[in-house]
């Protein structure tokens, strides 16, 4: 009967040892996952900065093209003294203000 008692004690020690090893490896595994998550967040931040700059550049190109097309249309229509010429002139001013606001915002973001 005394032989079975050390087996239980050994099994209990084995359980504690396995539990300790589980926590030890789990800690190292979770630390690695946390570092990977931080790295991916930093990569996303860097990628989103470059992506936002590209989007602003595309919007500036579109606004500049629309401004040029509307200016040419206004030059063609301005002698007719119609309501369309007034609306087109106001739209040109609006797009020019929008274009200027984009340029100002881009300069502020570079500071």
Alpha-carbon span 101 to 35, nearest angstrom: 39
Q: Please state, rounded to an integer, the average pLDDT across all residues of the chain.
A: 77
CA 46 to chain centroid, in Å, comes to 8
| pLDDT(109) > 80 | no
Cβ–Cβ under 8 Å, residues 39 and 47:
no
Q: Which of 76, 70, 75 is nearest to 99 (CA)?
A: 70
In which band, very low, low, confident or very high, does the pLDDT at 87 lie, cut at 50, 70 and 90?
confident
- The whole-number pLDDT of residue 83 equals 80
- The whole-number pLDDT of residue 29 equals 63
Alpha-carbon span 33 to 37, nearest angstrom: 6
> Is 0.85 surpassed by the pTM of this model?
no
- The whole-number pLDDT of residue 2 equals 52
What percent helix, strand, coil does the chain show, rounded to 5?
A: 95, 0, 5
81 torsion bin: left (phi>0), alpha (psi -120 to 50), beta (else):
left
More confident residue, 21 or 39: 39
Residue 2, phi then psi, degrees to nearest 5: -75, -20
- The whole-number pLDDT of residue 10 equals 61
Alpha-carbon span 50 to 105, nearest angstrom: 15
| pLDDT(59) > 80 | yes
More confident residue, 90 or 16: 90
| 63-74 pLDDT tens trace | 888 888 888 888
Sequence spans of domains, the chain: 4-110
């Amino acid at each position: 009967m005394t032989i079975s008692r050390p087996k239980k004690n050994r099994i209990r020690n084995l359980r504690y040892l396995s539990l300790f090893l589980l926590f030890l490896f789990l800690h190292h595994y979770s630390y690695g996952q946390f570092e990977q998550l931080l790295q991916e967040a930093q990569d996303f931040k860097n990628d989103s900065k470059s992506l936002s700059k590209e989007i602003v550049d595309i919007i500036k190109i579109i606004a500049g093209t629309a401004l040029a097309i509307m200016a040419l249309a206004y030059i063609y229509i301005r002698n007719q003294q119609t309501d369309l010429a007034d609306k087109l002139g106001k739209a040109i001013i609006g797009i020019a203000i929008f274009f200027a606001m984009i340029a100002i915002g881009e300069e502020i973001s570079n500071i």
